[in-house]
Amino acid sequence: MGITKTEFFTQKQNDTALLMKALGHPARIAIIEYLMSVDACICGDIVNELALAQPTVSQHLKELKNAGLIKGNISGNAICYCIDDTAINTLRGYFLEISDNLEKKKNMCC
């Protein structure tokens, strides 16, 4: 059907999946990496950086924003986007937890 059955999963599982999904496109990875590499962060720079059309970049920025991965401040007639550390820290914690867990039961399986 193409429709995800979110009702069968926990809130946390759905939230985690949404965060990961938002990062599941190279353009959005590139945006995050670009925002990480610069101090100033204006949307126009991202459009120039990405080799995608401006509406496409705008759409990707919107998805990152909806997921809570970036935040945008209006700054004159431009918009300053930057990474939201809350989401990043959530994901950092998530993978640290899995990694620690795997470390503990090394060679217990497969």
CB atoms inside a 10 Å sphere around CB 69: 24
| Closest separation in Å from C-beta 88 to its own copies | 5
Phi, psi dihedrals of residue 92, rounded to the nearest 5°: -55, -50
Phi/psi of residue 61, nearest 5 degrees: -60, -40
Binds 102, which of DNA, its own copies, none (CB < 5 to 8 A, cut-off by type)? Answer: its own copies
Question: Binding residue for DNA (CB under 7 A) from 39, 76, 108, 109?
Answer: 76
Binding footprint of its own copies, residue count (CB under 8 A): 52
User: Given candidates 29, 44, 48, 78, which one binds its own copies under the rule CB under 8 A?
Assistant: 29
Instruction: Please pick, from the candidates 53, 96, 98, 102, the single residue that binds DNA as defined by CB under 7 A.
Output: 53
Beta strands in 22-109 (DSSP E): 70-75, 78-83
Torsion sign, CA atoms 14, 19, 23, 25:
positive
Among 63, 69, 70, 87, which residue sits at the site for DNA (rule: CB under 7 A)?
Answer: 63
